[in-house]
């Protein structure tokens, strides 16, 4: 008899975290996402329950309890003094909402993702309170910044912090001196040419001689083995032969546009290529919505291969402890 651990996903986006857990044998129970266009993409790729709407308005009691609660949550400041005195700064804060879910569901694992600057956010107060409140609930607490190019074998310079917390009550002896073992760095074997198509793409992605920035691109973009960024007034070359961090506003407003030099001219990355730089394979469905939304979704996403390695490590821990009371799906 094998145990399949269930997952509930807050701030699910287009399902990068969900995909990583699904790829490692977890069962996806439900997800929540606010952005309507991200929900369209999510529904194109998953068939479990998706609750579209504001997480602050979610009725927690209406959701199935899960073994793993995941959240790539917005980062907000707390007032340390206000928090300790029980003032109103708790209200409307996304992290405190996650704690409401944790208290109601008591998942075996909390999996949180954020920008790497979370540690220094609000002069370190934010991270201090996050750690304090998770440990106060008798969870372990381990956190590490992982770069996609070092931990996902995708040529994308993307640093994110991951917080992994296990319920100590599952096996007090096992977790007494526990430290979560994050994946080891691995060699980057994939190149930009493995991600960017060498075929001609739709004309709308190219910058021809009629574009005002064409002379600038022609002068700066000499190599076809790296990704450049156009930043309104100048072109920036990535010297390390990886894609610079994809952003939610790339491809719009002339800011942070990722560009490549191809046999067919200078062009920006296509949405499909951006999703590939996040580790989504070509079977992942991109719906017929405005490409600006797809760029935003790729820029906001997590890198699937990094999540997969973390999910695999989490699965090993769960299979090592005594999980007597749970929300498991049992399969023969």
The confidence score (pLDDT) of residue 241 equals: 85
* 138 or 236, which is more confident: 138
What is the average pLDDT across 274-302?
A: 96
Q: Which helix (H) or strand (E) holds 16?
A: helix 16-22
Q: Which helix (H) or strand (E) holds 72?
A: strand 68-72
The confidence score (pLDDT) of residue 306 equals: 98
The confidence score (pLDDT) of residue 126 equals: 86
Q: How confident is the model at residue 204 (pLDDT cuts 50, 70, 90)?
A: very high
The confidence score (pLDDT) of residue 330 equals: 44
Catalytic residue among 18, 39, 75, 243: 75
4-8, 311-315, 324-328: range with lowest mean pLDDT? 324-328
The answer on pLDDT for 77 being more than 80 is no
**Nearest C-alpha neighbor of 96 from the set 137, 138, 39, 140:** 137
73-87, 92-106, 238-252, 287-301: range with lowest mean pLDDT? 73-87
**Nearest C-alpha neighbor of 67 from the set 332, 331, 311, 305:** 311
* Rg for the chain, CA atoms, rounded: 21
The confidence score (pLDDT) of residue 212 equals: 86
pTM of the entire predicted model: 0.92
- The mean pLDDT of the chain is 90
Quick one: CA dihedral 183, 188, 191, 194, positive or negative? negative
The answer on pLDDT for 332 being more than 50 is no
The answer on pLDDT for 252 being more than 50 is yes
**SS3 label, residue 317:** helix
The confidence score (pLDDT) of residue 233 equals: 76
The confidence score (pLDDT) of residue 198 equals: 87
32-36, 207-211, 242-246, 326-330: range with lowest mean pLDDT? 326-330
75 flagged as catalytic: yes
Quick one: what percent of the chain has pLDDT higher than 70? 89
Q: How confident is the model at residue 84 (pLDDT cuts 50, 70, 90)?
A: low
Which domains, ranges and CATH numbers included, belong to the chain?
2-188+300-331 (3.40.50.150), 198-269 (no CATH)
Task: Give the residues across from 114 on adjacent strands.
Answer: 161
What is the average pLDDT across 295-322?
A: 95
């Amino acid at each position: 008899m094998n145990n399949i651990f269930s997952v509930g996903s807050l701030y699910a986006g287009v399902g990068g975290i969900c995909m990583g857990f699904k790829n490692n044998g977890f069962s996806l129970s439900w997800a929540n996402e606010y952005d309507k266009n991200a929900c369209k993409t999510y529904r194109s790729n998953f068939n479990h329950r998706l609750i579209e709407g504001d997480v602050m308005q979610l009725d927690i009691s209406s959701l199935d309890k899960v073994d793993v609660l995941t959240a790539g949550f917005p980062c907000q400041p707390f007032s340390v003094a206000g928090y300790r005195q029980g003032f109103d700064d708790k209200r409307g804060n996304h992290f405190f909402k996650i704690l409401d879910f944790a208290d109601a569901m008591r998942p075996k694992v909390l999996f949180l993702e954020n920008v790497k600057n979370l540690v220094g956010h609000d002069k370190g107060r934010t991270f201090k309170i996050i750690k304090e409140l998770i440990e106060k609930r008798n969870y372990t607490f381990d956190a590490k910044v992982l770069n996609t190019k070092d931990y996902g074998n995708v040529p994308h310079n993307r640093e994110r912090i991951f917080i992994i917390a296990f319920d100590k009550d599952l096996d007090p002896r096992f977790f007494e001196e526990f430290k979560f073992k994050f994946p080891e760095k691995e060699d980057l074997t994939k190149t930009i040419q493995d991600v960017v198509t060498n075929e001609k793409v739709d004309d709308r992605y190219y910058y021809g001689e009629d574009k005002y920035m064409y002379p600038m691109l022609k002068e700066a973009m000499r190599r076809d083995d790296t990704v450049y960024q156009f930043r309104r007034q100048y072109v920036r070359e990535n010297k390390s032969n990886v894609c610079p961090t994809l952003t939610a506003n790339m491809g719009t407003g002339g800011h942070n546009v990722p560009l490549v030099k191809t046999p067919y001219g200078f062009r920006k990355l296509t949405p499909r290529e951006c999703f590939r730089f996040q580790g989504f394979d070509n079977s992942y469905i991109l719906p017929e919505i405005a490409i600006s939304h797809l760029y935003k979704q790729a820029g906001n996403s997590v890198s699937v291969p990094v999540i997969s390695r973390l999910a695999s490590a989490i699965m090993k821990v769960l299979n090592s402890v005594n999980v007597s009371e749970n929300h498991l799906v049992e399969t023969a």
